């Protein structure tokens, strides 16, 4: 090859290389929608956003750089939750993260094709949003708060704190089915369970008045992001004014003055939800991702509240606690 021809070819290739690079379209940044029934930071007691983004960063995703996140908070409004789910679907997003079963239902109503990652749901199988935990099917997978014998463990810990306990009030949402695990655990511990169903915030005070009249010995409060969690301060204050030792489903209750809680580590669950988002964005179908159950649990005891109730928490129980508030 002549020197002149070689130089022309080389210079031509050098000139065309930048042009080819410029012609390539920029890499698509995936967009994730996060649907929450609660409040945005700083009013988010579980620090869900912080935990989720920490999990993403551990996997190489940096919000604002190689992944876009659209947060929506319904602030306790069920209808707003559905509107926000539709809004995220219409953007569109590549994955929807739904926090709580209520958010999952809203997301499910908005789309049957966009992958949905559950984060901190109670019982997705019983609620009918997945076929089973091992093979969820459809476009939904994620994490559940449910663990085997969790209700029994809560009642056992409550009876350890109140040794002479015989009657326990169960505060629950009227439209939710009663968990059979509560009944079987109560029988094993020789406890009588009396239900106090409520339909809204206006019923909470009435329920506590009825508990006092029935002389209930303690209280069991399940998780509910739209009612119980949203009215945490009121429920804790009512339990104190009625001298009711109470077991709650999240650590934020004893941190607010409630007696005790035993539950999965919610922040860890929100952090783990990033793992499901990562797998879905890399091509795994939700139907092929088994639903994950919690493995880390926390017992939190408010010793100051126990003293106010006239309870002496056994040293063996205090030794088991992950956090003791004094």
Query: Model confidence over 107-144: pLDDT tens digits?
Result: 999 999 999 999 988 888 888 899 999 999 999 999 99
C-alpha distances (whole Å) from 262 to each of 43, 53, 61, 258 are: 22, 25, 32, 12
Structural domains of the chain, with CATH: 31-146+265-296 (3.40.50.2300), 150-264+298-325 (3.40.50.2300)
Question: Comparing 2 with 187, which gets the higher pLDDT?
Answer: 187
Q: Give the per-residue pLDDT at 122.
A: 80
Query: Model confidence over 51-63: pLDDT tens digits?
Result: 999 999 999 999 9
Query: Model confidence over 256-277: pLDDT tens digits?
Result: 999 999 998 888 999 999 999 9
**Positive/negative CA dihedral, 296, 173, 260, 50:** positive
The stretch 267-289 carries a mean pLDDT of 96
> What percentage of the chain carries pLDDT values higher than 90?
68
> What percentage of the chain carries pLDDT values higher than 70?
89
pLDDT range class, residue 86, cuts 50, 70, 90: very high
CA end-to-end span of the chain: 87
Structure token pair of residue 41: 């930071």
pLDDT range class, residue 150, cuts 50, 70, 90: confident
Query: Model confidence over 216-260: pLDDT tens digits?
Result: 999 999 877 667 777 889 999 999 999 999 999 888 899 999 999
Contact 120, 35 (CB under 8 A): no
Q: What's the mean per-residue pLDDT of the chain?
A: 88
Contacts 24+ apart (CB under 8 A), 300-304: 300/251, 300/254, 300/255, 300/260, 300/261, 300/262, 300/324, 300/325, 301/161, 301/254, 301/259, 301/260, 301/325, 302/254, 302/255, 302/257, 302/258, 302/259, 302/260
């Amino acid at each position: 090859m002549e020197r002149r021809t070689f130089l022309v070819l080389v210079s031509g290739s050098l000139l065309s290389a930048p042009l080819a690079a410029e012609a390539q379209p920029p890499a698509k940044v995936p967009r994730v929608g996060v649907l929450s029934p609660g409040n945005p930071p700083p009013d988010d007691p579980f620090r869900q956003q912080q935990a989720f983004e920490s999990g993403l960063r551990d996997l190489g995703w940096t919000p604002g750089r190689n992944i876009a996140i659209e947060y929506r908070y319904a602030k306790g409004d069920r209808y707003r939750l559905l509107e926000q789910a539709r809004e995220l679907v219409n953007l569109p997003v590549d994955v929807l993260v739904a926090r709580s079963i209520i958010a999952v239902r809203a997301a499910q109503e908005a789309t049957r094709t966009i992958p949905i990652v559950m984060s901190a749901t109670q019982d997705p199988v019983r609620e009918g949003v997945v076929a089973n935990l091992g093979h969820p099917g459809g476009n939904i997978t994620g994490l559940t708060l449910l663990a085997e014998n969790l209700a029994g463990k809560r009642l056992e810990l409550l009876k350890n704190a109140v040794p002479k306990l015989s009657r326990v009030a169960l505060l629950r949402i009227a439209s939710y089915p009663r968990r059979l695990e509560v009944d079987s655990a109560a029988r094993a511990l020789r406890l009588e369970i009396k239900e106090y169903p409520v339909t809204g915030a206006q019923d909470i005070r009435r329920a506590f008045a009825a508990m006092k009249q029935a002389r209930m010995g303690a209280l069991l409060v399940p998780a509910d992001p739209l009612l119980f969690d949203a009215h945490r301060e009121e429920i804790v204050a009512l339990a104190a004014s009625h001298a009711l030792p109470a077991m709650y489903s999240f650590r934020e209750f004893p941190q607010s003055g409630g007696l005790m809680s035993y539950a999965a580590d919610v922040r860890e669950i929100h952090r783990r939800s990033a793992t499901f988002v990562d797998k879905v964005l890399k091509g795994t179908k939700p139907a092929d991702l088994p639903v994950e159950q919690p493995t880390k649990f926390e017992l939190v005891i408010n010793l100051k509240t126990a003293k106010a109730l006239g309870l002496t928490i056994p040293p063996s129980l205090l030794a088991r606690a992950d956090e003791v508030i004094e």
